[in-house]
Every structure is written in C-alpha cells, then in structure tokens.
Structure 1
C-alpha cells in the first residue's frame, strides 16, 4: 500500500550545499523583526545576521564538529545558524550534565558552546580530528535527555526540505510571530525555528512555561500568531484557562510529540473554529527531520484519531502485518527528501553518507477509506504475557477512555501501569477484566505525575525503573508532604479535597497566605521554584520526591517581598515605641500589596474575579473589624467609624488605622472595576498597558487630595495613596528590561518630594527597586525563618502591638519591648490559624466532608488594659506607617 505527495521524492533532488540556505539568507529579510529574546531584547534579521557572521568568523573556515548546549536563549540559535551557514556539522544536546558528558566523550567535538557562568565558545583543537561527510549538517538525539549515544545524522538537504514543506502546509508568513517555547534540541522545537526563519517570520523565545503569566504577557504584547505544543502542553493550557483567553492575533496551533485522545483533538479543533484559529495535528520523528504527516485542519473534528496525509514530497507504505486478526494494518514506512542519512553510534560514523532511503517508523498504522492514515500502536510497544499479545498503546487508550490517566510498560513477565489516579484498585481491576490478566502479573505504580522527557513525551524507561525501585524504597517519610502543607496553610481539614492539578492560586491562596506557603514549599523542596504559586501540586510533589540538592551553602533563598514585609513591620513598631524614627514602611507595604494583587488576584485562568478580590478584602477586614470593635468597646478614642473601616473619610475615630481602611477600600474599588467582563478581558490582553493606565488615573486622583493641619489627606486617604498600590501592580506586570526601566523611572519621578522627607522617600524607592530588580535574596536559614514568621503574622502584629507596648513600655527599655510586640502578634496569628483549622475540621465532620475553605476567624486580644491612655497613642497624627497584611499593608498609627 503506497501513497505519494505532490512533489518528487528522490533524495538526489535535494542538492548538497556548503551551507543550509535558510541560515545563509537571513539578510534577505532586512529590518524585519526576527526574534524577541527571553529578556525582552528585540532583534531584526540584519542584526541577527551580524551576530551570526561574527560567530561564523570565530568558528573558522575549515569544517569542524560543533557541539551546542541547546537552551532557549538567543545565544544557542546564533551559534547554530553560524555553524549551518559555514557548513560545520552541529551536535545539539540537552542542557544537562549527564547527556552532555556522555556525548562529549563519545563524539569528541572540535568546538563546544555552553553556558558556564556565561555563554562560552571553546575550541578544543585547531581544525578537526574527524572525517566529516560532506552532506552531514546536524546530529540529534533520538531519546531526549536519556543520555543515549545513538544519534540521528541529518543533511543540509534534510533540514532545508523539511523547513520548506512545513512552511508550505502551515502557510507561514513573514508577518507571523511564533512562540518558541519547546526545547531547541528536540526536533519539533527546532523545526519551528527553521521553518519560521525560512519565511522571514519572527520567533518569541522564552524560558517560561505556558502556565507562567510572563509567557502570556510576551505573547500578547507581540501579538503572537502561533502556539506549538506536545500533549503535556495542552494539559497545562487547560489548567490556565486557555479556552477563556482572548488571543485575537492567534492564527494557528500545532500539536505533535505523541497522540492526543481523539475527544481532545475534536474539542481543541472546535475551540479553534469558534475563536478563528486552526489546529494542525502533526506526526513525525527525528529520523524524518521532524515531520512526516499532518491532518488538514478542516478534518480535525471529523477525523480526530487520524495523523492525516503525507507531507508534500513524502509518501507512506504499510507493510503487511503478520497478525491475520488485523487486516489492513502493518508497519508504517516513510519515504521523502527529509529522511535521515542514518544513525551514528560513534564518531567514526560521522564519515558515512546515506545508509537508508526509507524510514521504518516502528508504528502500526492503517489507511482509512478517506485516504487518511491512523496510527494504532507501536511494533515495539507489545509484551507477551501468558501467551497473550498485549498492545501497550491500546492498554493506555483503554484506561484513558475509562477516565484513568496511565502509562504502560513491562516485559514478558509483568505489565507495569503507572498512574496518578487516586483509585489504583480500580485501575488494577480494569486491567484484569479487560486484558484477562491475573493480578500477580500486574504492577500498578503510584506516581504524582507521569514521568516525561524534556520533549514532553512519556519516559517509559523511568516507569520501568520506578517499578524496580518499589521493593527497595526506604521507609515512608514522617514529615509533612507537599499536599499536607497546602492543607495546613490554606485551612483544609485534610488533603482529600486537593486535586493534583490544583495550584496555590486555584485553592484560594492570596497575599495573606503566600508568605507562609512559600516557606513551607522551601522546606519541602529545599528550594523555592519560580512561579510556584501557579505550579500544580502534582509537579511540586514530583520535585519534592527528587534527591535533595547538596550545594554546601548555608544560605537559603527567599522572596524579596517577604523580607520587605518583615523589615517594614519592624520599622513600624520600632517607630511607635521610640526605638528610632525612620518612616516610609507603610507606603512601601502598599506598593507590595499592589504587587501581590497583580500576582494572585489577576493571575491567568480567572483568579482575578470580583469574588476572589472580595474574599481577599474580607480576610483583611474581618479580623481588623473584630479587633477594632473590641477596642471601641474598651476605649472612647476608637470609634465605630474605625470599626466600619471608613474613618479616613469620616474622621471621628483613631487616625492610626488609616492603612487597613485604605487597603480594604482599594480592594472593594477594584472588585467593582473587575465586575465588568470587558475590563477583565482588557487587563488579560494588555496587562502592562492596563496597569499603566490605572496608574495614570490614580495619579490624577491624588491631585484632588490636600493635607490640612487636622488630617494628611495626601498621605492617608485612599484617593491620595492608591497610586502606591497601582505602582506595585505595574511593577509586577513589567516583565521585560525596558518595562522595568520605565517603571523605575516613574517611581523616581513620583516618589521623591511627595512627603518632603528624603529618608522616608528613600525607604520607599529603595524597597521598590529591590522588589522590581531583585526577586530573591540569599540569606542565612535562621534569618529566612524569622522573616517568614514576622511577615506571615504581620496583620496580627499590627493589631496587637499597641496594647502590648502600652503595658510594657513604662517598665522596660524599647529594645526589650520590640520582641514582645512581635512575639505577641506571632502567637496570636498561630492561635488564630489553629482555631480556623479546628473550626473547619468540625464543619467538615458535620457536613460530610464538604466545607468552605475561606472562613476567617478574628483575632483575640493578647493583652487587656485600661485603654484610655493607649487609645490616645492610637490617636496620634504624626503621619507614620503601619503594618502590612500579607501582600497588602496595614498601617498602624500615622506615627510609624
């Protein structure tokens, strides 16, 4: 059975050349945008050509084997293109030491390009020690990051032919801007680079995952036109609400790297039809320079199980199967100008020319009556148990159809099923019944998430190793799991209601709980991953299961915002007790509050709804109002306008609580703003621009505020200080170097002079600069733990410290009163957390396990006193600072 494309397939039709054309003709596209680097640097084709020519000069004229660590920055593609343009064979490798060292020892490259402290090109010898075949252009691994020395040898003709045909059937245009997030050493990721450069399109290079807000900020800013992913990418897209995103510039989406279930293909294709973009399901292998077939988008909904038709210039043949029970099925063989030269297993093989003219794919396929091809299994993915021939791919499909995500491996002795499903007994029963296997021949391995290669494909050898390691697994850990830590911090009575794909943001985490949660993640993993707040729990658990990294360092990394919170509340309390007089903490904390608002409440996937914002306001308002109600009963100086959190406008109570009033009023204001769907969509599409507009509005509002001898409206009223909150919001939305520089410039133009107090303004600007440019700090472990405690208990330190220092300051020096104030707040916070957990456990028991997670218990007074005198302190009006509530500050008396 044979099916041919519409172009000649003879390998001889692709002429060998000194350089690959798409690498030698970059200047033909002139001043068009070619790449946006992960750091936001924009390059034109002319600028890229300059860099490529400079790198080519360093590589020299004689052909040499160049080994490149293929990270997703600008440097590896530049060196790759320089080598291709100069006719140097390239060996691309994953950026991990094991793979690098294996290939380095076996293939002995002449030149290596790798990131050490910085990107470095090292010439290991003059000239080359290898006999390099004239057609050889590229060496790629067949096995992702597993370290196999077996490589695929590809020619310049292979690369050019595959780039041309992909550009043809995807209709790539010079106006396109493609997301380049897949690894460059993976043939799919590399083909995106090659085919877009061929057509003069632009690449959006990124080191971020699709779950990261920074990924979408870049995609929307540059009006990305194409997305590319493996099946796991589409799992992540579902988690971040891709179906709700407004992406008007998106033209098409491609999928390869393994089969998606037909129902998901149909669902994604339907989504694309509604939103105006096309889905290309593609099929290929490294041995075919990435691509052999594609499913025309108009057929994706009606034929979602098909891999489609051969690419132009290629052809398929199905070899008859030996199994008479499967007529029309057989191994799929591909022919075309993109078929590899052959394999290499040592440096001696680099001298070989073409050793194959057809590619036996190892896939079992059939051709439908419509002329489409369907892959139904792998010839190597079979095991024979008790005389039964088990198709592992079909076993996976069977389990998926019953709602169980599984990966199957095994031998002729045992079938191994790895699954994150919580009901492993159901998986075992289903395998027994459907495959007619006895229980002793089935091994179900529990995993938090299926192991994957860097390409996103299932790592089947790792599944085999997991099964082998079960018997030698050490005793279970007695410390808290990642999931138990989430339950503890977020108030779940147990872990039963926490799904594998849930994230901190999904579970209602916000600025109030993130300090404590980040420290718990640090303890569980030994480090704090970037964007942990939007990382699924199953992924965090997988990271926790890895062996601890021994760095020899006594320092621990901590988010800068946590340190700023702790330092600010210490400044505030120290000012109040007269230890020293350095103002500015409260307004800095207001900036940090805006930063956290953007991070948690405006995260992708719907976290920025009005309901979520109102919940955050309630978590601040309820404890504060309960405390202030007690103070109002106990003293005449704290009024009911304080209890209602409106005194910064009514001005009949204690001025010292202006900060909590500002913060709650600000959250209520933005809950109202984001109740309008069009506004939320605008913010999602133009995050930085929207925040910039909001800052302009807030700066106009503060022009209406005026200080008087009775009240400093510009410093304490919401319309006078909301711009600090929005400045922090804008800072979080600044993802590129240029945007951060703009935000820093705005801060330097607006903060200095605002208070006519250089020290206060320095505290604010330096703190904001640290937040903007130093996301993490390395500090001794005990300092990090103490900062986390203080930052986590911030609201309660603020609410209780007046009563504590009034009772103790007449009898103790200020330096001794400070730790008493901090300790009392921490104890109150800890007691409140314990009370909340107890209430929820009781509620869950009474309600059969279903209980709201976000109930808030108010604080108790830790000190009783005759507060008449203390109230007079709360009434002070020397315009200082207050504490912060988690991401949002709460100022105490103005005398901070």
Structure 2
C-alpha cells in the first residue's frame, strides 16, 4: 500500500519509507525535523521529503516580500526548523493564519510533519477562540507581530485522526462555525495539479497573495505555485494601495487572483491604465462576476497581453471544479466553462417538490445566471461558500423548457466530508461526489452555465422567487444589492447611491423606482417589497457576500413594534422598564428611517449637533457612555449588566466639555466677566485643537477617497455658509467689516492691526485649514499615505505647522502671528494627532509635542496653561464626570458654539460695562437661539445632507467650534 502526498510537499512516499519510531528511515538515513514517535500510517510523510520537495528548486525564489526574498532552499530550512517545534506524533494543530512568511512556514511545517492543520482566520480572534473551544486542538499557532507563537496545549494528542486527513477548513468565513470541511492529502494534491495544468504554471511565475491564506482560493494559489517551483509575492496590502503595485512590479508579478469585490476595487483605481509588463493572467473566482465585466476584462487582457481565467469551485472541492478557458471568456462570459482536469459534471434532475422546479414563468424577465455557493453533501444549507461562478447579468433566471438540473461534481478533489465535532476527525471519506446546490445547464458548446441556486428561493403570495436573480436584475441597473425574504415581504438592501431614471437612490433619495422594478420582476405587489439603503453590504473576509449576515440584517431592518412612548425617547430600561430601543433613539435624533443594528453614528452621517445630543441621551438610556460609541455598531450599545443607581453626576465626552468651556471663556473674556482674574484667554486656540481632533475622528475614516472629500466639503459648508451670511448682514448694516471678511480672507487682505475685522479669525482659520486638508485628500497618493500611516501623517503635518511656531518660517507681528490658518495649523494638527494616537507611546509623543510647543507661543503663561491643560485632557481623558444639569448645559453650548461665536460680538458690548455677567449669559442665549433657528432652517431646506454623499462618509457635518 502506498499513500501519496501533494507534490508541492515532496514526492510520493511508500509506506515502507515512513520514519520509524527512532526517527530514522529504513535505509538508516536520518529523518530531518522528526522527533521520536513517528507518524501514523497513511499520514503525510516525513519533513525530510517536504524539505527535499522544496530543496529540489534550490536557489529559485520562493517568496518575495517588501523586506526581501527567500529561496526555496531557505524556505525548506525554515520549514524543517519550524516542524520540530510542533511536537512528536501526529497532532491537531490550529493555525491562526495571516499573510506572513512565518505563517506560511508554520503551515507547511505542520503538514510536512504529518499533523492535521485546522486553518482559521488570524484576524478574527472570536472565530479562533470558538474553534479552539469546539475542537480542543493539541497545538495552537498564533501570529505574534511578524512572528508566530506556538502554544503546546498537551503532550501528544487527544484526538483520533484519520490517516488520510490533512486539512480542515471552514466554509462560513469568520463566524467560527464548528462545521468544517475535511480534506485529504490526495485532495490537496489533485487540486494543485489540476490548477497548475490548466493555468500552465511555469517556474518563472509569481503570484501575489491577494486573498487570505485561510480561504481555500487563496490557499490553492499557494499550493499550485509551490508545485511548479514558482514564486509567491507575499503581502497583506490591498490592491487599492499603491505600495502593493510597487511591490508587484518590482517582484515581476505574473498572476493576480481576485473575487468579484477585488474587481470592484480594480475598477476604482484605474487598473485598465496600469503598466504591468510581466502580468500573464488574472484569475477570478469567489462568486459571480457579471458577464459584461467578464467580457470587458477579457478584452482588456487581450489588449494588454494577459489572460482572464474565470473559475468555479467550492471549499468542498478543495477550491476548484471548473474553469473557462481564456480564449472563450469574451464569447461565453455567462458560463463557468468545463470541468477541471480529472473532474466531471452531471446534472441531477430536480425533484417536483423543489421550489426551483416550479413556477418557472416567474423567472422569465431576462436571461439570468448565478454565482456559486454550495452546500455540498446533500445540500444541507450550511456548508459551501463557493468561489467562482459566473452567470449572465441581468435578471431573473431559470428559463422554461431547458434541461436544468442540480450540478453534481465528481473528482479526486472532492472532500472527505464534513466535521462537526472532534469525533468526526477519525472518519474516512463519506462521499465520492459533490452536490453543489447550484442549478445549471449544459450549453450546445459543451460549456456549463449556472442558472440559479437551489437554496436561495423564497415563496411569497404563492409565488416562488429566486433571490439571486433579483440581485442580478438590480445589478443590471448598476446596483449592488442583497435580498432576503420574510413571511410577508421581500427585503432588498442596496449598497451606495445610484441614479435610476434621473432619480437618486440612496441616502434620502426616493427608493420607489427600485421597489417598482423588483415588484414587477417578481410579480409581487409593491407594498410587499421593502428597500433599505446601506453604506456597504455585509461581506466575508474573502470579499464574498455574507448571506447569513444578510438574512440577519433583513430581520434587523424590518419595522419594529410601535414605541410605548409617543416621543420615541427611551431611558435606561426604557419606559416602564421596557427594553432600551437604541435604534429608535438614533432614528429620532438623526432623522433617518434606515437605522439598523449594524449602523454606527459615524456611518449614519452624524454631525456635531447630533453627536452632542446623542452622547447625552445615550448615557441616559444605557446608564453609561460606552467608549468609542460613535463608531460602535448599535447592536453592541447595551445597558450595564447591573444598572447603577442614577447619581447626581453623569459622563460627558472631554471634547464636548472642552468646547463648552472654551466658548464660555471666549465670550466671558470679551464681555469683561472674568476681569476680576484678569481675563482668561486661550479658548479659541484650544478650540482649534479640538477641531483637529474631531475632524480626524469623523472625516478620516475608511470611506473611499471621494466620499471623504465630499464629507469634508460638507463640513466646510456647514461652517462657512452661516458665517458668510451673518457677516454679509453685518457689512450691510455697519462699516466695521468689509468684503475680505465676507469671503473669509481677512487674514490675507485685512489690516495689520487688531480690530473688528479680525473678530472672525477663528472661522477663517478653520475653513482655510479644512480646505487645504480637503485638497490634500483629493490627491490619491496623500490619501493612501494617510490611510496606511494615520499617526505618522498627523505628526508630519504637525511638524510642518511647527515651522511657523518656532519662526523657521517667520510670520509678521500682530494678529497674523497667532490668528491665521498658517499660524495655528500646528494646533489643529496637534488635535489631529491626538485622535490618531492609538497607543500609550503615541500619546506620549503627542504629550511631548504639546509640552514643547504650547509654552512660549503667546508670551502669556495663563493663556498657555489653558490651551495646554485642555490638550492634555483631550489626549488622556475620553470622558469626564460632571453634575447632570451642567452636563446638559454643556452639551447645548457645545452644539451651538459656532453660532455663539458669530453672534456674541453684537450682544456683549451693550452690557459688558455695567452688567458683565448678564453680558455673558445674554451672548450665550442669543447664540443658542441662533443655532436652533439655523438648524431648523437647514432641515426645511431639503434635509441639507447632500444626497450624493453615501452614509459611509461618516462625517461630522457640523464641525462647529470643534
């Protein structure tokens, strides 16, 4: 009897050559990397054969990274060394995978030493812990920075492992589901060989790791290239990162692998204009790519000298079942092609009681297609996440009169079966063919076409509906959509904004065109279709749609029961002790009807006014203010497990309190209220720093560049428009201000001496800084740099600003020395760096910068202490406790701070000499009233939020005085 190993791990090894218990082969040679104890018969052979398999490629480059290169001989040595750390005997090794060389070495070492590898997402600790609890591995290997850490959980093994079992993969993304696919050594070998054959891989090929190693598609790229002695370009960078392409070109990359979402990203970055002289082929799997896009990329490849290979598969088939030969991609983009070498398909007739076999007239809107999914093993609906797939774009699906059946695959790469408990690891193969769950037909050209999905059918009003084809219908209109059905309605979630018949869909746009389109396609009444707009559809870490999350999301967005409170306002425990309705609270204060449990304050486009109000109301509702609540999904905003008795004090965010205190100091100092202590200056400069802090929090998000730019422009408008209107009224009524004030350029064209024209310097400086930041983010290179190194960029801007602070770049004396955008840029950047600082070390850096730069700036120690004290609070304290009445007052003042600043110049002069305290109170009251009038007017003027700004911009639209 012989048992083979995948060729990328070494040659076929007879059982007689398995290392004996003393670690020597029968011929007396030493088995490198093995300890005494040997491996079970049938398991993967000695590490020496893996090392020989790698070493036969000698000095050829195996791995290229941004840091350097690793030859096959060097990789073999590292694999040999790593195998020794995993212990003797055959064991279950859980490997938390990230895209690093050390993880690759650990993976190859575990397989080569004969261990069974359970591969899990290294960037999802919850999934890792769930699978550790479910399967109790003998060894856990985790990423630890750039290295890996080996945790020996017991001596030997606590498991009975089948001799053929090599690898365990999840089909459920990062959920931590205990249902795993059991793959044998023969599965891995067959899959790698077939891919290498139909792609024509060569030793000089080099593939970038654009997909996670724990994803079967990404892993198959590794296996097939090692099989041919080709190279891997190992990087965790996204394809939207310019550094990825620099590395790809420098490494002479020949291969890119992508799921449909990858192609969305490629479209964004202008892939069609890139010069990639060594690129030979691009592969696509992981879900359906619309035929029009398949044809477009095939044509692009033809012009640029590379091939597009569309593929189809499932984890249950060790990644691959079919491929579309490159020369057919342009002419047959709606098909998945032909079976891979060594595999075959058959079509299983549909049972009469299968929803897909009934009411086919419903699906005759246009030609349809589908991506793949796959439940595998009888289609129980839990497995298969599928990877390739294709289908004809457009709409609805199965066409009557065609020979449609469930696609069934047979080949040596079909899994051994599923594992649901540790006991299943002792089982042998339980099936020899795979029921994919996809509905297909065979074309006259002998190609297979996916036309539907057996498990994605719903029945509403007696009509059976193919949800995948509803999504395809919307895709034909330029919409990315996800569908789920309830008992009485079809929920359609759309991603981003789109124009249909000149009507904006998304944001506050009218969703009626989509509702009508879907209702007509499915022959449903329009009131049975609910359309919801999302910033982004839920996706797995692989970029594929997360169907489980989609169904849950549909349940979340369905109408909630009426609130027991007419106002919708709930407190801790809700009215009459009912549950806290956080979604209703957010919907009420943000005036949105699309709030879901996955929403965040940031993703809903919250602004400064609503931020302050919500922070106060949320603490009232939950009994505490969760840290980072503005970026926390609503589902995670929960009351305390054991609510404390409502005390006399409450939490308030430090930035909110600083805004309130600063505006009081500004007005009080101008109104002579604090004359007894000589006035308290520094409030406006402190607000510049707080503004930088809030801009970084709300605008420098993960949103696409254009959306970040639009969000910043919206905030500029929120400050500039009311300011310009108010100043224009002053110019018309008085002669103290001029045109330079109206256009917010007094710092450029105004007088050299302090006076009324300089009253609005704060607004000018903030608007100018925001415009410069917007311009910088409009530059793709700067945008990418800021995303990659958020703290470093903030510090770099701070360093630039300090050139004027320390007179390296001299500014003229007078107000221009401390009251212009150039003069206070460093303070804005100081706040920005505070928000970007995520570690204690980074906060210490910002603290040092503040301590070195603020003293001496004003030549006024008290003023410097005010600014420095406020900045230090911002750096080190997220929230503060204060009396509840004061907390509510502080929130109101902070939200209205811009309007208080604008209007107080016209209020306090009438009272400051005789009634300075009344001058302060009146100025604050007038500003708050002006703010309320302005906010109400903006709401009446078309909901002021621009409809073409997706919610993902997450911007604080009213930066106000912060």
Instruction: Tell me if TM exceeds 0.5.
Output: yes
Q: Which residue of 2 aligns with 1:430?
A: 520
Q: Which residue of 2 aligns with 1:604?
A: 704
- Distance in 2 (CA, whole Å) between partners of 1:12 and 1:174 is 21
- Distance in 2 (CA, whole Å) between partners of 1:105 and 1:734 is 35
State whether residues 583 and 760 of structure 1, in contact with CA within 8 Å, keep that contact through their aligned partners in structure 2: yes
- Give the secondary-structure state (helix, strand or coil) at the position aligned to 2:878: strand
1:806 shift after superposition: 5.3
- Distance in 1 (CA, whole Å) between partners of 2:887 and 2:258 is 38
Match of 1:127 among 145, 156, 163: 156
1:258 shift after superposition: 2.4
Q: Which residue of 1 aligns with 2:87?
A: 60
Unaligned runs of 5+ in 2: 1-5, 15-43, 352-356, 358-399, 495-510, 570-580, 950-955
1:829 shift after superposition: 1.8
Q: Which residue of 1 aligns with 2:332?
A: 303
- Distance in 2 (CA, whole Å) between partners of 1:618 and 1:564 is 23
Q: Which residue of 1 aligns with 2:382?
A: none
- Give the secondary-structure state (helix, strand or coil) at the position aligned to 2:760: helix
Q: Which residue of 2 aligns with 1:205?
A: 236
- Distance in 2 (CA, whole Å) between partners of 1:521 and 1:222 is 49
1:139 shift after superposition: 1.2
Number of aligned positions between the proteins: 803
What does the per-residue CA deviation read over 1:437-459, in whole Å, with 9 as the maximum and x for residues that have no partner? Answer: x989x976766667766656556
Q: Which residue of 1 aligns with 2:345?
A: 317
What does the per-residue CA deviation read over 1:54-111, in whole Å, with 9 as the maximum and x for residues that have no partner? Answer: 9766542232223455678999778656644543323245688997787556544334
Structure 1 position 88 matched with structure 2 position 115: yes
C-alpha spacing 1:626/1:14, structure 2 compared with 1 (3 Å): farther
- Distance in 1 (CA, whole Å) between partners of 2:456 and 2:802 is 64
What does the per-residue CA deviation read over 1:115-167, in whole Å, with 9 as the maximum and x for residues that have no partner? Answer: 99x99866543221212233322212334466654421123454466467667
Match of 1:797 among 897, 900, 903: 900
Q: Which residue of 1 aligns with 2:316?
A: 287
- Distance in 2 (CA, whole Å) between partners of 1:221 and 1:584 is 46
- Distance in 2 (CA, whole Å) between partners of 1:310 and 1:329 is 17
Q: Which residue of 2 aligns with 1:351?
A: 426
C-alpha spacing 1:550/1:153, structure 2 compared with 1 (3 Å): farther
C-alpha spacing 1:62/1:798, structure 2 compared with 1 (3 Å): farther
Q: Which residue of 2 aligns with 1:838?
A: 940
State whether residues 556 and 778 of structure 1, in contact with CA within 8 Å, keep that contact through their aligned partners in structure 2: no
State whether residues 294 and 310 of structure 1, in contact with CA within 8 Å, keep that contact through their aligned partners in structure 2: yes
- Give the secondary-structure state (helix, strand or coil) at the position aligned to 1:350: helix
Q: Which residue of 1 aligns with 2:819?
A: 716
State whether residues 904 and 927 of structure 2, in contact with CA within 8 Å, keep that contact through their aligned partners in structure 1: yes
1:374 shift after superposition: 2.3
Structure 1 position 777 matched with structure 2 position 878: yes
C-alpha spacing 1:601/1:406, structure 2 compared with 1 (3 Å): closer
- Give the secondary-structure state (helix, strand or coil) at the position aligned to 1:713: helix
C-alpha spacing 1:738/1:626, structure 2 compared with 1 (3 Å): same
Q: TM-score, normalised by structure 1?
A: 0.66
- Distance in 1 (CA, whole Å) between partners of 2:585 and 2:901 is 26
The aligned runs of 1:195-594 (5 Å cut-off) are 199-205=230-236, 216=241, 219=244, 230-231=259-260, 241-242=268-269, 255-266=284-295, 280-295=309-324, 299-311=328-340, 313-319=341-347, 321=349, 330-334=405-409, 338-368=413-443, 372-378=447-453, 393=468, 397=472, 417-420=490-493, 422-423=511-512, 426=516, 429-430=519-520, 433=523, 474-475=561-562, 479=568, 515=611, 519=615, 544=634, 548=638, 565=659, 568-569=662-663, 572=666, 577-578=673-674, 586-587=684-685, 589-590=687-688, 593=691
State whether residues 594 and 728 of structure 1, in contact with CA within 8 Å, keep that contact through their aligned partners in structure 2: yes
1:285 shift after superposition: 0.7
- Distance in 2 (CA, whole Å) between partners of 1:765 and 1:227 is 51
Q: TM-score, normalised by structure 2?
A: 0.62
1:825 shift after superposition: 3.6
C-alpha spacing 1:727/1:293, structure 2 compared with 1 (3 Å): farther
- Distance in 1 (CA, whole Å) between partners of 2:275 and 2:658 is 39
State whether residues 506 and 607 of structure 1, in contact with CA within 8 Å, keep that contact through their aligned partners in structure 2: no
Match of 2:170 among 125, 128, 141: 141
1:286 shift after superposition: 0.8
- Give the secondary-structure state (helix, strand or coil) at the position aligned to 1:205: coil
C-alpha spacing 1:752/1:107, structure 2 compared with 1 (3 Å): same
Structure 1 position 660 matched with structure 2 position 760: no
Unaligned runs of 5+ in 1: 1-6, 37-41, 534-539, 845-849, 854-883, 891-896
State whether residues 345 and 409 of structure 2, in contact with CA within 8 Å, keep that contact through their aligned partners in structure 1: yes
- Give the secondary-structure state (helix, strand or coil) at the position aligned to 2:319: coil
- Give the secondary-structure state (helix, strand or coil) at the position aligned to 1:420: strand
Question: Which stretch shifts more, 261-270 or 758-767?
Answer: 758-767
Question: Which stretch shifts more, 106-115 or 828-837?
Answer: 106-115
1:361 shift after superposition: 3.0
Q: Which residue of 2 aligns with 1:155?
A: 184
- Give the secondary-structure state (helix, strand or coil) at the position aligned to 1:797: helix
State whether residues 654 and 879 of structure 2, in contact with CA within 8 Å, keep that contact through their aligned partners in structure 1: no
1:705 shift after superposition: 3.3
Question: Which stretch shifts more, 71-80 or 374-383?
Answer: 71-80
Say which structure, 1 or 2, has more relative contact order (CA 8 Å, 6+ apart). Answer: 1
C-alpha spacing 1:749/1:128, structure 2 compared with 1 (3 Å): same
- Distance in 2 (CA, whole Å) between partners of 1:243 and 1:85 is 42
What does the per-residue CA deviation read over 1:12-65, in whole Å, with 9 as the maximum and x for residues that have no partner? Answer: 9799434595999699889998668xxxxx797699999988976654223222
- Distance in 2 (CA, whole Å) between partners of 1:600 and 1:141 is 36
1:838 shift after superposition: 3.2
- Give the secondary-structure state (helix, strand or coil) at the position aligned to 1:302: coil
State whether residues 583 and 763 of structure 1, in contact with CA within 8 Å, keep that contact through their aligned partners in structure 2: yes
State whether residues 900 and 926 of structure 2, in contact with CA within 8 Å, keep that contact through their aligned partners in structure 1: yes
Match of 1:680 among 779, 783, 786: 779
